Amino acid sequence: MRAQPKASHYIGGAYVESPDGHPFPSIYPATGEAIASLFGADETTINDAVQSAVEGQKVWAATPPVERGRVLLKAAAILRERNRELSELETLDTGKPLQETLIADAASGADCMEYYGGLAATLTGEHIALGDSFAYTKREPLGVCVGIGAWNYPIQIACWKAAPALVCGNAMVFKPSEVTPLSALKLAEILTEAGLPNGVFNVVQGYGDVGAQLVAHPDVAKVSLTGSVDTGAKVAALAGEHLKKTTMELGGKSPLIIFDDADIDNAVSAAINANFYSTGQICSNGTRVFVHSKIKDAFLARLAERTANAVLGDPMDEATSIGPLVSKSQFEKVLGYMALGTQEGARLVCGGDKADVASMPEGFFVQPTVFADVKDKMRIAREEIFGPVMCVLDFEDEADVIERANDTTLGLAAGVFTKDIQRAHRVIDQLQAGTCWINTYNLTPVEMPFGGYKKSGIGRENGHAAIEYYSQIKSVYVEMGGVEAAF
């Protein structure tokens, strides 16, 4: 199977190659075979991309907002039209089952383009009365923004960054993860087809060093990263050195708290979605599942029964519900945590090892895994695994579970299951997390701001909130009288 793009980068509205750059393959995680060969950007390519963004941004910032919105709406329509083709590409690049990519990747990117396209003409400033005089504010773009993506939701991440950046009149240079380089190039093609002026959205490939060069580039005003906490710290430090604005969407070890009055089947569904969707490779996953000890046995029994129904296999088969992990290194890391859980004394309820898929013996498949009797101090309960490994912890007391849920340096997300509405809101009120759910988990509609507390991030993506992070306010005082001076 090949999915070779026309060239590695997309700059100024066209494909560009950099044959002197660092070569790297894109691997189909289900078979381990290379489906494309690309080159990382060299210095000239990076400079060309930023220069093209500088030029494109001037044209785009002068385009009336309503017209900018029309381009995003057109892009949304094309993303929807080509959803199957884009989903197949995303499945090849990430290994996520087509069952998921058909609904959660390009389709959510389209939602995002549509949301910000619709918002375009409403991004106004305000009038401020000052007696005889007055002031007004204007919302202006930042300039050239850099987007750096992780490998778990490649086209969705590209859209979550591009749409709010573009609607505010910025240009973007986007660097996908080198693990999943393909779909951002398709997004660039689609934006051109939708009428985006050349240079407004560019894609350059490469490893972290390319990302770092973009962050440090003097013509770049802002950086938005989706990635791990360690990378976030490095990128924020470098951006800070140059006093650039940042949005950081980083990792999590989020709690999902299930009280004894919860509907058990719904809670099990949420725990499955919070741990096994995308083979567990989701930053907001609720990987610490606190279950009230009164319902723990019933919960675990139902969870094991339903997890046995997971269909592991060929990701291109729409009946498959769990695909491989994204890469060999992720596969080894997750297997290491599965072994660690048993060593640390957690009780293995199901899974715990690699999975054999007969037709795909080289694939990076692992079994969906549940550990029970997990203790707060165990490493499997403290470190982000980014694979299908659920830790179930017991609790009895509300105040105690809140304290334990908050006992982490991370704070991306949290969930609460209870039928008691007062308890639901009281608990959510005390949880230190940027994105919370009551009686569900992991739904991230574009209308709702998304982002983390503590080390899980800086700023917000999605919703009206993202506009604040891709624009700046100019305040203008207008004097309607004379000017007094001391002398």
Among 226, 273, 278, 442, interactor with ligand NDP by CB under 6 A:
226
Which stretch in 150-158, 161-169, 271-279, 401-409 sits in contact with ligand NDP by CB under 6 A?
Answer: 150-158
Footprint of ligand NDP on 258-297 (CB under 6 A): 283
In the complex, least distance from residue 458 CB atom to ligand NDP, rounded to whole angstroms: 11
For residues 15 to 54, the per-residue mask of contacts with ligand NDP, x marking binding by CB under 6 A and - elsewhere, is: ----------------------------------------
For residues 449 to 468, the per-residue mask of contacts with ligand NDP, x marking binding by CB under 6 A and - elsewhere, is: ---x----x-----------
Query: What are the tokens at 211?
Result: 């990302």
Among 15, 134, 136, 207, interactor with ligand NDP by CB under 6 A:
207
For residues 407 to 426, the per-residue mask of contacts with ligand NDP, x marking binding by CB under 6 A and - elsewhere, is: -----x--------------
Q: Looking at this protein, which amino acid is placed at residue 330?
A: Q
Among 13, 56, 69, 149, interactor with ligand NDP by CB under 6 A:
149
Helix H, strand E, coil C: the string for 114-165 is: HHHHHHHHHCCCCEEEECCEEEEEEEEECCEEEEECCCCCHHHHHHHHHHHH
Instruction: Using the Cα atoms of residue 483, residue 484, residue 485 and residue 487 in order, give the sign of their dihedral.
Output: positive
Burial-class residue 80 by CB neighbours within 10 Å (0-12, 13-18, 19+).
middle
Residue 433 in the binding site for ligand NDP (CB under 6 A): no
The 8-class DSSP code of residue 71 comes to H
Pick 278 or 418: Cβ nearer ligand NDP: 278
Distances (CA, A) of 220 to 5, 136, 184, 228, 245: 27, 27, 20, 22, 10
Residue 151 in the binding site for ligand NDP (CB under 6 A): yes
* 409 C-beta neighbours (distance < 10 Å), count: 10
For residues 317 to 336, the per-residue mask of contacts with ligand NDP, x marking binding by CB under 6 A and - elsewhere, is: --------------------
Residue 98 in the binding site for ligand NDP (CB under 6 A): no
Q: Which residues, other chains included, contact 295 with Cβ-Cβ below 8 Å and sequence gap of 6+?
A: 258, 260, 262, 264
Q: φ and ψ at 480, to 5 degrees?
A: -100, -5
Which stretch in 60-68, 94-102, 246-254, 355-363 sits in contact with ligand NDP by CB under 6 A?
Answer: 246-254
Three-state secondary structure call for residue 257: strand
Among 16, 150, 262, 350, interactor with ligand NDP by CB under 6 A:
150
Residue 254 in the binding site for ligand NDP (CB under 6 A): no
Which residue is associated with the tokens 């979550």? 160
- Catalytic site positions: 161, 249, 283, 461
Q: How many residues bind ligand NDP (CB under 6 A)?
A: 29
Q: Give the span between the Cα atoms of 150 and 80, in whole angstroms.
A: 23
In the complex, least distance from residue 148 CB atom to ligand NDP, rounded to whole angstroms: 5
Residue 249 in the binding site for ligand NDP (CB under 6 A): yes
Distances (CA, A) of 24 to 99, 186, 207, 331: 28, 19, 9, 19
Return the C-alpha torsion angle 468, 474, 218, 11, nearest 10.
60
The C-alpha angle with vertex 348 and arms to 344 and 354, in degrees rounded to 5, equals 100
Residue 234 in the binding site for ligand NDP (CB under 6 A): yes
For residues 161 to 180, the per-residue mask of contacts with ligand NDP, x marking binding by CB under 6 A and - elsewhere, is: --------------x-xx--
In the complex, least distance from residue 120 CB atom to ligand NDP, rounded to whole angstroms: 24
Q: Which residues of the shown chain bind ligand NDP in the complex (CB under 6 A)? A: 148-152, 175, 177-178, 207-208, 211-212, 215, 225-228, 231, 234-235, 249-251, 283, 384, 386, 412, 452, 457
